């Protein structure tokens, strides 16, 4: 009897140990991702914008809203920019690039084709460029911060053999409602990313805060691991 039980205990211990190791690895990857995208924490929140093909002209202009949230689970992690009925793209995901300080922007276009932009920040500007597509066109998007609550997205394109860009459109975004996840703003801290906590979550009878629904999902998936990492960060600051 004991000879049968022992292997079952060993197998259970192996499975439990593997699960713990997987959770540790997952938390480490999430922490690495958050650290790499920390300079863009202030993107998190809700935005409303006005798009214009030609600056200063209402011809062809449109209104656009977008939600930005962390996605820390699944295969496509990063900062997710989710526009509502935007004519230029269906969704966009910011992720770390292969090189230091490099950023990638993975975009799903209205026709469901994909496009990837790569670039590096330059002060308050972030310029990202794509490879040439099937039409031999190179696309560029430049995101400029104008204070805490404004972002301007400039879309341009050029032929691969040319050097000058042609303007496609510009969207001027204003943060919707009150300020969300703005660095340096006083208020509760998001236990996942360190941004401004705006959504309450609970664990073992205590209330904590996260900055977006993506962080809420990550917290609910592993509250003990998230809080342990948060306590380590707080201790390191002290």
72-104 pLDDT, tens digit each: 988 899 999 999 878 999 999 999 999 888 999
- How far apart are alpha carbons 66 and 60 in whole angstroms? 19
Boundary residue ending a domain (129, 152, 175): 175
Report pTM: 0.76
Q: Supply the mean pLDDT for the chain.
A: 84
For the cut 50, the answer to whether the pLDDT of residue 108 exceeds it is yes
pLDDT for 15 beyond 80: no
Kindly calculate the radius of gyration of the chain based on its CA atoms and give it in whole angstroms: 21
Task: Indicate whether 157 and 192 sit together in one domain.
Answer: no
Counting residues of the chain whose pLDDT is more than 90, the rounded percentage is 49
pLDDT surpasses 70 at 146: yes
pLDDT in tens, 180-208: 344 445 678 899 988 888 899 999 989 99
> What is the C-alpha to C-alpha distance for residues 20 and 120, in angstroms, rounded to an integer?
36
Domain match, 117 and 226 both: no
**pLDDT score for 188:** 87
pLDDT of residue 59 exceeding 60: yes
Q: Do both 192 and 137 map to the same domain?
A: no
pLDDT value at residue 19: 45
Residue 12 in domain: no
User: What's the whole-number mean pLDDT along residues 110-131?
Assistant: 94
- Cβ atoms of 98 and 105 closer than 8 Å: no
Q: Are residues 76 and 157 in the same domain?
A: yes
Q: How many domains does the chain have?
A: 2
193 lies in the same domain as 161: no
Please check whether residues 213 and 139 belong to one and the same domain.
Answer: no
| 38 is a domain residue | no
Q: Which residue has the higher pLDDT, 178 or 7?
A: 7
Q: Is 56 a member of any domain? A: yes
- Is residue 125 located within the same domain as residue 209? no
Residue 195 included in any domain: yes
156 and 71 co-located in one domain: yes
* Structural domain of 133: 43-175
Minimum mean pLDDT range among 25-29, 85-89, 214-218? 25-29
Of the listed ranges 7-21, 55-69, 223-237, the least confidently predicted one is: 7-21
């Amino acid at each position: 009897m004991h000879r049968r039980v022992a292997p079952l205990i060993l197998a259970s211990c192996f499975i439990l140990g593997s699960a713990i190791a997987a959770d540790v690895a997952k938390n480490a990857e999430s922490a690495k991702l958050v650290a790499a995208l920390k300079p863009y924490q202030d993107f998190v929140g809700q935005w409303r914008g006005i798009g214009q093909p030609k600056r200063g002209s209402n011809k062809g202009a449109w209104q656009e809203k977008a939600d930005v949230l962390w996605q820390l689970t699944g295969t496509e992690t990063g900062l997710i920019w989710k526009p509502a009925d935007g004519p230029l793209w269906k969704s966009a995901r910011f992720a770390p690039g292969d090189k230091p300080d490099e950023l990638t922007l993975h975009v799903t276009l209205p026709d469901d084709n994909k496009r990837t932009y790569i670039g590096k920040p330059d002060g308050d500007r972030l310029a990202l460029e794509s490879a040439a597509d099937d039409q031999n066109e190179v696309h560029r998007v430049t995101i400029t911060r104008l204070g805490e609550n404004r972002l301007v997205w400039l879309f341009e394109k050029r032929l691969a053999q040319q050097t000058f860009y042609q303007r496609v459109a510009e969207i001027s975004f204003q943060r919707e409602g009150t300020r969300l996840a703005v660095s340096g703003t006083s208020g509760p801290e998001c236990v996942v990313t360190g941004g401004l906590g705006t959504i309450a979550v609970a664990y073992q009878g205590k209330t904590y805060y996260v900055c977006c629904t993506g962080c809420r999902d990550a917290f609910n998936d592993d509250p003990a691991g998230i809080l342990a990492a948060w306590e380590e960060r707080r201790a390191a600051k002290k």
